[in-house]
Amino acid sequence: MITKDILKEVLAAEIVLDSEEEFEQSGKSTFSKVCGCDMMSDLLSLMNDHEHDNKAVLLLTGLNNPQVVRTCEMVDIKLVVFVRNKQPSDETVQLARECGVTLMCTPYTMYKCCGILYDLRMKDLNGEIKTN
Amino acid sequence: MDGQLIQMEFPVKGGNFGGAGDAASKIKNILKQLGIRYEIIKRVAIASYEAEMNIVAHAAEGTIVVEINPNAVVVAAKDKGPGIPDIDLAMKEGFSTASQQIREMGFGAGMGLPNIKKATDDMTIKTEVGVGTELTFKIFLTDNREETLK
Ligand SMILES: Nc1ncnc2c1ncn2[C@@H]1O[C@H](COP(=O)(O)OP(=O)(O)O)[C@@H](O)[C@H]1O
Ligand SMILES: [Mg+2]
């Protein structure tokens, strides 16, 4: 089971906002699917087709404006990891707080993050997983 | 909510990037409070958000009117703006006239209208160049969609 703390460790990430903590259930959420995406319309399209537990999905993105959090709110994604140390603006953090979305920053590139999480046997939105 | 009709209206300002998504967020929360099924809420949220982004990105001002009746959620996004000269072209995945500013927000990939079509059970566009656009979509609440469509 991949928790926020494991993700923090493997991605050398910093937690910018822990919304789980605010709801007093820190560490309880687990994540099994990853979407790496900078186009929010793409994310909406993928999530429209996705019929499973959206709260198990985490978003990896290089985009750090409030629209990222808005989009997550629409499709109930609860964790965003910003790649290459993109820092979310105060406005983005504030919106994430309101929407109950946790935010992390990693120094790694999108490619490296995807590789690490793939190796951990996290799935893509179609449920595809590393097989060997 | 048997037999009841709920109607709500939300203003949307063109070019107001900071507030983009406020209407869709409110719509989503109201549907949640009404106890509507999650799958339905998700589809309404996706389509409403894309429709709201289109007003913000392409029009001067508009409103989103949501009607919830016992059969369906019906959303009408109406704007004063440039209108759409060629609807078939606008519906093509990848076609976009969005500005760089919109692209930086993660929109403007020309997927909004196709996304709305995909997420909903029915979508119509009425538009007049130089006047504005009215996009209406419907998502049925009942499971027997085909039955309702007849
Ligand atoms: N409300 C609107 N008013 C004017 N033009 C619009 C409107 N909605 C969509 N369009 C036109 O249709 C195109 C495609 O829309 P869409 O599929 O949502 O993609 P995007 O918004 O990413 O460009 C837009 O780029 C724009 O030219
Ligand atoms: Mg659009």
The yes-or-no verdict on residue A119 having pLDDT over 50 is: yes
Q: pLDDT exceeding 70 applies to what percent of chain A?
A: 95
- Ligand 1 contact via B98 beta carbon (within 6 Å): yes
pLDDT of residue B142: 85
Site from A35, A37, A38, A41 to mutate, B interface, most B CB atoms within 10 angstroms: A41
Q: Residue B50: which residues within 8 A CB-CB, separation 6 or more?
A: A41, A44, B112, B113, B115, B116
User: Which of B21, B46, B106 comes nearest A38 by C-beta?
Assistant: B106
Counting ligands in written order, the one closest to the CA of B61 is 1
Counting ligands in written order, the one closest to the CA of B135 is 1
CA-CA distance, A42 to A129, in Å (whole number)?
21
Average pLDDT value for residue range A5-20: 96
Cβ-based contacts of A43 with chain B (< 8 Å): 106
CA-CA distance, B45 to B29, in Å (whole number)?
9
User: Which of A45, A68, A91 comes nearest B106 by C-beta?
Assistant: A68
pLDDT tier for residue A21 given thresholds of 50, 70 and 90? confident
- Ligand 1 contact via B59 beta carbon (within 6 Å): yes
User: Which of A38, A41, A67 comes nearest B115 by C-beta?
Assistant: A41
Region for residue B35 given its phi and psi (left: phi exceeds 0; alpha: psi -120 to 50; beta: otherwise) = left
Print pLDDT tens along chain B (150 aa). 556 789 999 999 999 988 999 999 999 999 999 999 999 999 999 999 999 999 999 999 999 999 999 999 999 999 999 999 999 999 999 999 999 999 988 999 999 999 999 999 999 999 999 999 999 999 999 865 554 444
User: Which tokens hold the place of A124?
Assistant: 């893509």
Enumerate domains of chain B plus CATH numbers: 6-148 (3.30.565.10)
pLDDT of residue A20: 84
CA angle (B116, B121, B124) in 5-degree steps: 60
pLDDT of residue B150: 42
The yes-or-no verdict on residue A26 having pLDDT over 60 is: no
Phi first, then psi, for residue A123 (nearest 5°) are -95, 160
- Distance from residue A53's CA to the centre of ligand 2 (Å): 26
Chain segment A123-132, per-residue pLDDT in tens: 999 999 998 8
Structure-model confidence comparison of residues B116 and A22, the more confident one: B116
Q: Is A50 on the interface with B (CB under 8 A)?
A: no
Instruction: Supply the residue whose CA is at minimum distance from atom 18 of ligand 1.
Output: B112
Strand partners, B63: B11, B78
By C-alpha distance, which of B114, B116, B122 is closest to B150?
B122
Chain segment B63-74, per-residue pLDDT in tens: 999 999 999 999
Enumerate domains of chain A plus CATH numbers: 2-119 (3.40.1390.20)
Chain segment A81-115, per-residue pLDDT in tens: 999 999 999 999 999 999 999 999 999 999 999 99
- Work out whether strand B61-68 and strand A102-105 pair parallel, antiparallel, or are unpaired: unpaired
Tell me whether residues B109 and A68 touch, CB distance under 8 A: no
Q: Please measure the distance between the N-terminal and C-terminal CA atoms of chain B and give it in whole angstroms.
A: 24
Structure-model confidence comparison of residues B48 and A29, the more confident one: B48
User: Does residue A86 contact residue A103 with C-beta atoms inside 8 Å?
Assistant: no
CA-CA distance, A47 to A56, in Å (whole number)?
12
Chain position carrying tokens 């027997």: B144
Strand partners, B62: B12, B79
